[in-house]
Each structure stands twice: as C-alpha cells, then as structure tokens.
C-alpha cells in the first residue's frame, strides 16, 4: 500500500489488504482503493462491512466492477461474462457498444450505492464514468472540509445519476499506456486534497494520465503544478 496522505490511502491488490482495513477503522481515515487485478479485485469486500466501508473511493474497470458487485450480491451477472486475463493484456479495454456498457455500469454502480460512496469506473480511451455522493448540479461540492474530514457520506438519491467524462484529447504521440490509470488516480486525489470539486479533479486526473501516455516511464519523471490550466478547468460530462 502507498500512504497518499494522513486521510487517504491507496491500496494495491496484495495480501496486505486485511491488516490495513482491520487496523484503520478510524472515522477520520478515508481509503481510496484501486484494483490492479480482475481476479482478486473483490478481496477487501470479503471482510465485514465495517471494514470494507472504510473504502470511500474505488477506481475499477468494468470487469473488476463486475467482480466486486458479484461479491456484494449487487448483481446477478456471472463471472463467466468477464474476459480472461490474457485477453486484457495492456489493460486496453475494448468497448464494442458504448451505450450498452454504460448501461451495465449504471446498473452495477446503482447496486453498490449503499456500500461505496464514490466509484470511478475507468473506460480506457472513452474516459471515466463516476457515481459519487459529492456531486452537485452546480459542481461546487468538495470531498473534504478544511480540516480534511471526509464530508460526503450522505445518501442522496439525486447523486445516483452517473456522469460520463469523455476523454477530450486525442493522443497522437502515444508512447505507452502503462501507468495511465495510476496517473489519473494520482491527479484526481491531488486535486481532491486541494478541496477541488469532482469536475476539476477529473480535469487534473486527465492531464496527469495524458502525461503518462506520452512518457516512456510508467510514472512520468515530471508532472505539472497548480499553475496548469487543468486546475481551473471543469471537465465536461454527460449524464448516463
């Protein structure tokens, strides 16, 4: 696991899940979970609800989302619908029918609404689909207060609407897609900890992912500071 801040920890899919979630049952601690392996993406959700509900954010792809939903009995989908690991080389997900996939994502996220506050479903070159309780129509809600206490736990039916943030940049100078998802999450979390709203967090995440796609390194050696325009740009979204 990587400690990202005193109130936000990003967990990788390793055998270290259990002691971490068992030990940090503290109201002021918030966990951001990024699955890295479809086959074991559901591991933390085999714990008791009081443990896995410390995960307030997660960023699965659609196959990892299916696995988690199946474990939490939020879906009747069979794991047989998921592709084999060999068909996901490079984690380059192929969406043959975007609307059909988004409909499934909406169904799965709806079933997980009571368990996970914020779900960021990465959809490759199509961008990201988000269901979260911190969203408001005026795009002003933030995730933490000035004391870095998580403030978005209320269940509001209006927040269940799914937002699709499409990628806005065509990458003609792609070097490697390795690490792009991690870079997006890092940008999203960095903006989140600066008290930015969801659309700006996505904007910063997209810019971080773009720099990763253009780098030969999984983690670019240089990113950008808060003077970059992405920090003041509200990413555009469509309601799914």
Q: In this structure, is the dihedral angle defined by the CA atoms of residues 177, 186, 27 and 108, taken in order, positive or negative?
A: negative
For every residue of 154-177, DSSP letters joined together read: ---GGGGS-EEE------TT----
Percent of the chain with pLDDT over 90: 37
Measured between alpha carbons, how far is 183 from 34 in angstroms, rounded to an integer?
12
Backbone φ, ψ for residue 164 (5° rounding):
-105, 115
137 pLDDT band, cuts 50/70/90, is low
Q: Which of 16, 18, 21, 43 is nearest to 31 (CA)?
A: 21
Measured between alpha carbons, how far is 156 from 175 in angstroms, rounded to an integer?
42
The answer to whether residue 212 scores a pLDDT higher than 50 is yes
- From residue 21, alpha-carbon distances to 32, 41, 66, 119 in Å are 11, 15, 22, 18
Measured between alpha carbons, how far is 8 from 2 in angstroms, rounded to an integer?
10
Instruction: Enter the pTM of the model.
Output: 0.80
pLDDT digits (tens, 9 = 90+) for 10-58: 444 444 555 556 555 565 678 899 998 888 899 999 888 888 888 999 9
- Helix, strand and coil content of the chain, in percent to the nearest 5, comes to 40, 15, 45
Measured between alpha carbons, how far is 46 from 69 in angstroms, rounded to an integer?
12
145 pLDDT band, cuts 50/70/90, is confident
């Amino acid at each position: 696991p990587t400690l990202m801040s005193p109130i936000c920890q990003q967990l990788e899919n390793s055998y270290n899940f259990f002691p971490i979630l068992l030990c940090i049952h503290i109201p002021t601690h918030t966990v951001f979970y990024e699955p890295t392996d479809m086959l074991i993406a559901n591991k933390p959700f085999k714990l008791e609800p009081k443990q896995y509900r410390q995960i307030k954010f997660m960023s699965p792809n659609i196959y990892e989302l299916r696995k988690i939903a199946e474990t939490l009995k939020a879906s009747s989908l069979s794991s047989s619908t998921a592709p084999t690991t060999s068909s996901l080389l490079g984690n380059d997900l192929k969406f043959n029918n975007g609307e059909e996939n988004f409909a499934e994502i909406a169904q799965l996220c709806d079933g997980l609404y009571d368990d996970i506050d914020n779900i960021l479903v990465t959809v490759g070159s199509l961008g990201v689909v988000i269901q979260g309780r911190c969203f408001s129509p005026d795009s002003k809600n933030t995730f933490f207060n000035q004391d870095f206490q998580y403030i978005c736990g209320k269940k509001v039916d209006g927040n269940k609407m799914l937002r699709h943030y499409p990628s806005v940049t065509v990458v003609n100078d792609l070097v490697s897609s390795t690490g792009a998802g991690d870079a997006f999450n890092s940008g999203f979390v960095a903006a989140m900890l600066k008290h930015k709203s969801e659309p700006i967090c996505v904007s910063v995440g997209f810019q971080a992912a773009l720099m990763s796609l253009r780098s030969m390194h999984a983690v670019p050696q240089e990113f950008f500071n808060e003077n970059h325009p992405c920090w003041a740009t509200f990413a555009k979204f469509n309601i799914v």
